[in-house]
Amino acid sequence: MESASLRDFLKLHFIVFLWGFTAILGNEMSIDSTDLVLYRTGIAALVLSVVMRFKDKTFKFPPRGVFHLFLTGLVVAAHWVTFFEAARVSTVSVCLAGMATTTFWTSLVEPLFKKQRIQPFQVFLGLVVIFGLYLIFKFEFTHAYGLLLAIISAFLAAVFSVLNSKFTLKYPPYGITFYEMLSAAVGLLLFIPVYKTFVLHSEIMYQWPEPRDWVLLLLLSGVCTVYAFSVGVELMKRISAFVVNLTINLEPVYGIVLALLIYGEDEQMSTGFYYGTLVILGAVLTYPVIRRMQRRRQLSVESKPKMGA
C-alpha cells in the first residue's frame, strides 16, 4: 500500500463532513427512503458513466469482478436505505450515533475477510460500545427502532468498506463506484415493487420527486456520492479500511453539530444520549492507540538479538 500524504487525510475529513450532511439532505426530501436511494444511485451511475467517458476510463472489468461489485452494490443500497430510514423514524442525531459503531463492526469484519484472529481488546472495546448503546437506549428508548436501523446500517458500511479496500488493489475507483451504483439502482428498481406491495401494501410503486427534491438529489448524487464515494474508494489505495472508518467516526460529530444548527430544539437530545455517544466515540478512538502500542511492543521483541545455542 502507498503511503498517505497530509492532503489525503484532509480529503478524507472533507468527504466525511459531506457524509455527515447527507442525513440532513435525506431528511429534507419528501420521497420514501427506498425511492431516495434509487434516484441517488441511478443519477450517480449516469453521472459516472459520463465522467468515465470524458476521462477515457474503461468500463471493461473481468466478469467475476463485475459480479463481486454488483453484490457489493446491493450491500451499499441496503446501507443507505437503512441509514436514511433511521434518520426519519428517529432523529438525525440518533441515526449518526448508531453509525458511530462502524469502526467496531470493521474491527470484527476485517479479520474475518483477511483470515486473522480477533484480538481480545477488540472484544473488550466492543463491550464498551455496547454499553454506550445501552445508555442511548436507556435515555432515548422512544428512538430505539431508529437506533437499531442505524446500527444495521453501520454494520453494512463496515462490510462494503472492507470489500472496497480489496477491490482498489485490482480496479480503478471510478469503475468500482460506477458498477456499485448501477447495481444498487437496479437492485432497488426490482426490490421496491415487491417491498411496497407485500410489506407496505401500497398501490404507489415509485414516487416522483418534487422540484425541490431534484435539487437536493443532484447535490446528494453529484457531490456526496460521485465525488465523495469515488474519492473515498481512491484513498483506500493509501489508507487502510480501518483508518478510513475510524475517521468516519467523526461523521456523527459533524452531522450532530450541523443538525443542531439547522433544526435547533428538534434535534436536542437528553444528556444520556450524549454520554452514550461519547462512550462509543471514546471506545473506537482508543483502538488505534492500543494497536500502535501492540505494534511497538512486537517490533521491540523482534528487534532483540536471539541467543545462540
Distance CA 287, CA 88 (A): 31
- Helix (H/G/I), strand (E/B), else coil: 10: helix
Which of 21, 18, 82 has the alpha carbon at shortest distance from 263?
21
DSSP string of 29-78, one letter each residue? -SS-HHHHHHHHHHHHHHHHHHHHHHTT------HHHHHHHHHHHHHHHH
d(CA 107, CA 137): 23
Distance CA 36, CA 38 (A): 5
Q: Is the pLDDT of residue 278 over 60?
A: yes
Residue-level pLDDT at 309: 41
Q: Are 78 and 159 in contact (CB under 8 A)?
A: no
Residue 203: pLDDT band (50, 70, 90) is: confident
pLDDT of residue 88: 93
Distance CA 249, CA 246 (A): 5
pLDDT surpassing 80 at residue 61:
yes
| pLDDT higher than 80, residue 56 | no
Interior angle at CA 74, CA 109 and CA 254, nearest 5: 65
Residue 264: CB atoms within 10 A of its CB come to: 9
Q: Which residue has the cell 541467543?
A: 307
Q: Give the distance, in angstroms, between the CA of residue 222 and the centroid of all CA atoms in the same chain.
A: 17
Taking only the tens place, the pLDDT of each residue in 164-189 is 888 888 888 888 889 999 999 999 99
Average pLDDT over residues 232-254: 73
CB atoms within 10 A of CB 53: 10
Nearest to 185 by CA among 22, 45, 23: 45
**Pick from 66, 102, 85: which is nearest to 186 by CA?**
66
Q: Confidence class of residue 78 from pLDDT cuts 50, 70 and 90?
A: very high
Most confident of 33-42, 50-59, 159-168: 33-42
* pTM across the whole model: 0.82
| Residue linked to cell 426490482 | 190
The vertex-215 CA angle with 212 and 218, nearest 5°, equals 145
The mean pLDDT of 14-19, rounded to a whole number, is: 86
- Compute CA 232 distance to the chain's CA centroid, rounded to the nearest angstrom: 10
Q: Is there a contact between 100 and 277 (Cβ–Cβ < 8 Å)?
A: yes
CB atoms near residue 9 (< 10 Å): 15
